[in-house]
Structure 1
Amino acid sequence: MDELILHPLAYARRIRGMTRADLAREICAAAERRGLRSGTDKSRVRKWETGVTPDKDSRTYIADVFKIPRKDALTRDWPHWLPGADERVIPLGPDSAVPALREALRAAMDPLDRRNFLTFSGSALTALATSWATSDTQPLAQAMNGGTVDEDLVTMLEETSPQLNRLATEQRQHAVILLDAHLSTVVNLIRHGRHTPVIAQRLHTMAASLSQTVAWNRFDQGLHTAAAKLWIAGLHSAHANGDRDMGAALLGDLAYQASWRGYPQTAAGILERALTRTSHPTARSLLQLRLARAHAAQGDTRATHAAITVAEKSLAAASGRPVPAWCSWMSEADLAVDTGQCLLDLGETRRAHQLIREGQNLLPPSRDKTRGVFLTYQAKSHLDLAEPELAAAAALKSLELAQRIGAPRCVQLVRDLIPRFEEHPGAQGIPELLERAAA
């Protein structure tokens, strides 16, 4: 099996010739050396290698086994401090877009890429964001290889690609192959075509936008390695064009993924760099809101409220420029619900519940996937308020919606709440929810 699709813990033990049972014994021995006990067995190691995060003590014992400083295990994101966890990120440069796009396409078409963990370390992603924030682009050169790229073909792709990008989630699930094909076509034209710098710029604009859309498709399917590589590839194309707002968008998506996977510190580091070189108020509002979510997940109340305040002011700010397409959907509904989710993380449940409900009411019918996510937030807020019946109703609506539009990520959000619903087996709606979630 390709080592790049192994979980870093599996990779670390395999390069040392260790089975899961071997590693479990070594962890127990590390605990005994500290005068403590660990109940680790090969089954628990398997869970860690398929997405479960070890507790603080277990991470300390694992660090002992691999001779890694204890502070790394306690201060760096799991599992990125493990040996071999870093995968090389292609650095930004004048000729970096094509290799990044080729690597992203390979990952996107790889049926084995079904692991629920990131293959890039937080430090590698933050370094990429720092490079983007501190480097300048160079003019695109005229490509002299291959056949001449027909301008009519480029125009046709420019007209059809946005139509595919704008499809509602329920329809986009039927157009995945078309989106993949459009991206592949654009990449091949960049790689093999003879084109002027102006045509190259138009192609890279499409490559960045299509990479973003295809990445979100892979992310929704749980294919996190492919999603990350596609967002990174889009960043390279945006950088080649000098499109700072689009570059910030792609970094913002990488940060969103990091938060989703439970690495808010990495997300905050990426977003802080993305915010240094994006200027449109709506774009800044969205990035500040994601930064607030990352701070809230870390329990930083002051930083969370500061970012929310900036997000509110930025969204309300007038701008003579058109809103970038990638954040044109950003609205008061998103601000309300994500602020509510921040407050949930900070324990401000009543106010959080009110904001989430308000945001739900503001959301237009066209954004069903977002509605499904918001409904799970609403369900969680009802659970926090000891209102299991209302929570079940919201969760069931989310589940039905997600299954109808083909949104596995939303389905998983509901399933993640099931253990909390199982604490209230007699409450109205919960037996039906448990049955639907198990189907």
Structure 2
Amino acid sequence: MPARRATSATGRPARSQIDRSIPDALRQRTARLRRLDDVLGGGDTFSVYLGEYEATKNLLRKGSYTEATGRGLLSVLAEQAQQAGWAAFDAGNHSVATRLYETSHKAALEAADTPLAGNALCFLAYQKIGADRRSAVDIATESCRTADTDAPRGVRALLHERLAWAHAVAGNADETERALNAAEAALAESDGAPQPDWVTWVDRDELCIMTGRCWTELRRPLRAVPILQSVLAGFDDTHARDKALYLSWLADSYLAGGEIEQAAVVAGRVLDLSAEVASVRPRQRIAPVLQQLTAHREIASVTETLEEARR
């Protein structure tokens, strides 16, 4: 006979006791699964990340736990919601991404995890940039305030570089530079404090890439090109989505600087790298460059790249 579920004195199913070690175990599992994002696009990872989020939400709803364990579970839920939201965003499902980011922000605040709450706002700002630049700047500014100066250095570096990006897209050059300087100062700290896994990818190369992206957006190709060229020369092709995205800004800067052939060659690399990646973003990012290249069809490298784009 199948085992019967334990019941409480009221006859309702008893709530299973969640051990205090479970939040840490789930956080470690979340960290391992996050590595999938290094090599796969959101179209491949979304269902995995959403499943993890739903499982933790089910534990919170049906389990029994201490207040401290509950806060730990809420913090993990916030982290998982951000990862699932990022995958949805990468796959082009913006409404789902927004809901998950908002859920993450609420859970992080309930867990009193201000770094994660700040990062949830940061994700919302990043998503809003295309539609409402002023709102994106405001939300990104609030994300830095939410995380506070006590946040780990990697968190502060990430939030300030995302603030720099919001300012760059809004055309605010001075504010962009100040935010980039704040991110660099945070990274330069060496207090030995542990960093959350969700910011371990934030390093000097990442900051250089964001710096190059910002100067590209601000139409400063003489600043952008050397930075992007240098850091992307050693960037592994196994990170195909990210390399394709970053190269799209290099192609954009070449074009802004009048280097048409170079822009076409780099745009071709973007197409090659993004061909088998389940992410909508590289093709979206390179589309304006390809459109501008159509005015230079007489150049052989441009013709080749445009033909590749049509395949």
Give the TM-score of the pair, scaled to structure 1: 0.62
The 1-side partners of 2:230 and 2:122 are apart by 25
State the AA in 2 paired with 1:359. V
Matched positions, count:
295
Range moving further from structure 2, 427-436 or 319-328: 427-436
Q: What's the CA shift string for 1:234-258, capped at 9, x where partnerless? A: 1111111111111111111111112
Deviation, 1:366, is: 5.6
| Cα displacement string for residues 186-215 of structure 1 (whole angstroms, at most 9, x for unaligned residues) | 111212222222332232122111111111
Q: Which residue number in structure 1 is paired with residue 74 of structure 2? A: 204
Q: Give 1:432's aligned residue.
A: 304
Of 312, 324, 337, 2:184 maps to: 312
Kept after mapping to 1: 8 A contact 2:44/2:278: no
Tell me whether 1:223 sits opposite 2:93 in the alignment. Answer: yes
Q: 1:417 and 2:285 equivalent?
A: no
Q: Does 1:376 align with 2:248?
A: yes
Q: How does 1:8-407 map to 2 (within 5 A)?
A: 147-151=15-19, 157-171=26-40, 174-259=44-129, 261-278=130-147, 279-363=151-235, 367-407=239-279
CA contact (8 A) 1:186 1:203 kept: yes
Are residues 362 and 323 of structure 1, via their aligned partners in 2, closer, same or farther at CA, if it must alter by over 3 Å? farther
**Residues 37-87 of structure 1: CA deviation (Å, up to 9, x unaligned):** xxxxxxxxxxxxxxxxxxxxxxxxxxxxxxxxxxxxxxxxxxxxxxxxxxx
Bigger drift between 356-365 and 399-408 goes to: 356-365
Contact 1:389/1:427 (<8 A) preserved: yes
Change (3 A) 1:315 1:179: same
C-alpha contact (below 8 Å) 1:165/1:210 kept by paired residues: no
What is the letter of the counterpart of residue 387 of structure 1?
E
Work out whether residues 249 and 326 of structure 1, in 8 Å CA contact, stay in contact via their aligned partners in 2: no
Q: Is the 8 A contact 2:56 2:73 kept in 1?
A: yes
Q: Aligned pair in 2 of structure 1 residues 164, 384: CA closer, same or farther (>3 Å)?
A: same
Unaligned residue ranges in structure 1 (runs of 5+): 1-143
CA contact under 8 A between 2:165 and 2:176: conserved in structure 1?
A: yes
Cα distance per residue 1:258-315 (max 9 Å; x no partner): 22x2422112111211212322222212222222222222222222222222222111
Letter in 2 for 1:257: Q
Q: Which amino acid aligns with 1:197?
A: E
Whether the 8 Å CA contact 1:221–1:408 is kept in 2: the answer is yes
Contact 2:247/2:267 (8 A) holds in 1: yes
Change (3 A) 1:363 1:400: same
Residues 347 and 409 of structure 1, relative CA distance in 2, 3 Å threshold: closer
- Following the alignment from structure 1 to structure 2, what is the Cα–Cα distance between the partners of residues 154 and 292? 33
Per-residue CA deviations over 1:117-156 (Å, capped at 9, x if unaligned) read xxxxxxxxxxxxxxxxxxxxxxxxxxx9962144387676
Counterpart position of 2:7: none
What letter corresponds to residue 75 of structure 2 in structure 1? T
Q: Tell me the SS of whatever aligns to 1:242.
A: coil
Tell me how far apart the structure 2 counterparts of residues 330 and 189 of structure 1 sit (CA, whole Å): 31
SS at match of 1:429: helix
Query: What letter corresponds to residue 308 of structure 1 in structure 2?
Result: L
Instruction: Determine the C-alpha separation between the residues in 2 that align with 1:213 and 1:187.
Output: 14
Structure 1 150/243 Cα, relative in aligned 2: closer, same or farther at 3 Å?
Answer: closer
Shift of 1:232: 1.0
* Structure 1 counterpart SS, 2:275: helix
**SS class of match (2:193):** coil
Residue 140 of structure 2 contacts residue 166 of structure 2 at CA under 8 Å; is this kept in 1? Answer: no
Q: CA-to-partner distance for each residue in 1:294-338, whole Å, 9 max, x for gaps?
A: 222222222222222222211112232112222210122222222
Residue 13 of structure 1 aligns with which residue?
A: none
Matches of 1:150 and 1:305, distance apart in 2: 47
Q: Letter of the 2:165 partner, please give it.
A: R
Provide the C-alpha distance between the structure 1 equivalents of 2:198 and 2:178, rounded to a whole number of angstroms: 24
Contact 1:164 1:175 in 2 (8 A): no
Q: Distance in 2 between matches of 1:411 and 1:167?
A: 21
Tell me by how many angstroms 1:340 deviates. Answer: 1.9
- The structure-2 alpha-carbon separation of the partners of 1:347 and 1:158, relative to structure 1 and needing over 3 Å to count, comes to closer
Aligned-partner Cα distance in 1 for 2:174–2:210: 16
Structure 1 pair 328–437 and aligned structure 2 pair: CA distance change class (3 A): same
1:419–1:146 CA distance, 2 compared to 1 (3 A): farther
Alpha-carbon distance between aligned partners in 2 of 1:245 and 1:165, rounded to the nearest angstrom: 18
Cα RMSD (Å): 2.4
SS at match of 1:195: coil
